[in-house]
Amino acid sequence: MSTPFRSMFPLLVLAFATAHAAPAAAEDGSAGFMRCMDAAEGVTVDMLNCIDAEIVLQDARLNSEYRQTLAALTQGQQARLRTAQRLWVQYRDANCRFLADPEGGTLATVMSVDCRRQMTTERASELARLRPQT
């Protein structure tokens, strides 16, 4: 790979990934997340800061949706959801750690952290959909 392409490749991959993640972020993410990412202009540390801030928001949302859904279920369903949620957290963490390949450079770090943001956002939405409709 030529040197100019090698330096641009991570930005191109991230731009592609972010563009395809935009509908989910717009639907489930905070209003400021995409603005923050746009303002980061591809600067790794700034993108990581945006993603970290969104993870804090989405973790809180996940916990809220989990508690609300748990409260709406029968005891048997609650036990199954607790088991599923514990396994889901293990899967999310393992899956996103896998992306943090030390040979992948700074892009691997961004992808790993964004994996956690995306999976947490999606799970929070899924938990909300699991609640019985009243």
Structure tokens at 109: 């770090």
Compute the distance between CA of residue 106 and CA of residue 125 in angstroms, rounded to an integer. 29
Select the highest-mean-pLDDT range: 94-98, 102-106, 130-134: 94-98
Alpha-helical (H) ranges within 100-132 are: 105-130
User: What pLDDT digit, counting tens, does each position of 76-91 carry?
Assistant: 999 999 999 999 999 9
Average pLDDT over residues 35-57: 94
63-87: average pLDDT:
97
Q: Three-state SS for 110? A: helix
Model confidence at 134, pLDDT cuts 50, 70, 90, reads low
Does 6 have pLDDT greater than 60? no
Q: Which amino acid is at 61?
A: R
Q: Which of 17-21, 47-51, 102-106, 129-133 has the lowest mean pLDDT?
A: 17-21
Pick from 110, 119, 116: which is nearest to 10 by CA? 110
Ordered structural domains, the chain, with CATH = 3-130 (1.20.1270)
Closest CA to 123 of 97, 94, 86, 98: 86
Residue 131 has pLDDT above 50, yes or no: yes
